[in-house]
Amino acid sequence: IFFRLNAKMVKQKAPTSKAPEWGSFPLDHFAECRHTIESYMKCLKENDYIAPYCRKEVKEYMQCRMDKGLMAPEPIENLGLPDEKMDPRWMEERKKILQTISKTNNGMEWFAYQKERQRLFSIEVEATAQPSGSAAGKP
């Protein structure tokens, strides 16, 4: 029995791996772009860890990597990063929700608080998925 199981295992093909789209590039071992990473982390903290608000910092980091030879030079537009600006209506909705959370957080139950944060996140996802001019029918 052991031989039969072993023979079946040998005949199976190993899974094939796919190379990364952009190839491999060296890590920033010497912290040459540390200042841009710190700027990004600060931006995330200031924006309640909602990444779309820190697109400018991501672009600065990618540019730093290219400038320091840590990745192949490429126009920023070709890296697939969304536009830095978001639709102002989504920004207003976010502001309203954050005000609601900050006003009621002291007496609000934890689950209700998390539900409101989830609603904010879903708005962010929608805003990121749509170009800035195509959200005309949204509140």
Q: Considering all CA atoms of the chain, what is the largest pairwise distance in Å, rounded to the nearest integer?
A: 69
At 20 the pLDDT is 60
- pTM score above 0.95: no
- How crowded is residue 9: how many other Cβ atoms within 10 Å of its Cβ? 8
- pLDDT tens string 28-38: 889 999 999 99
The Cα–Cα gap between 137 and 139 comes to 7
pLDDT reading at 18 higher than 80: no
pLDDT reading at 75 higher than 70: yes
The Cα–Cα gap between 125 and 96 comes to 17
- pLDDT tens string 51-63: 888 889 999 999 9
Domain boundaries, the chain: 31-84, 85-134
- pLDDT tens string 83-107: 766 667 777 777 777 777 666 655 5
pLDDT reading at 40 higher than 90: yes
pLDDT reading at 22 higher than 70: no
pLDDT reading at 111 higher than 70: no
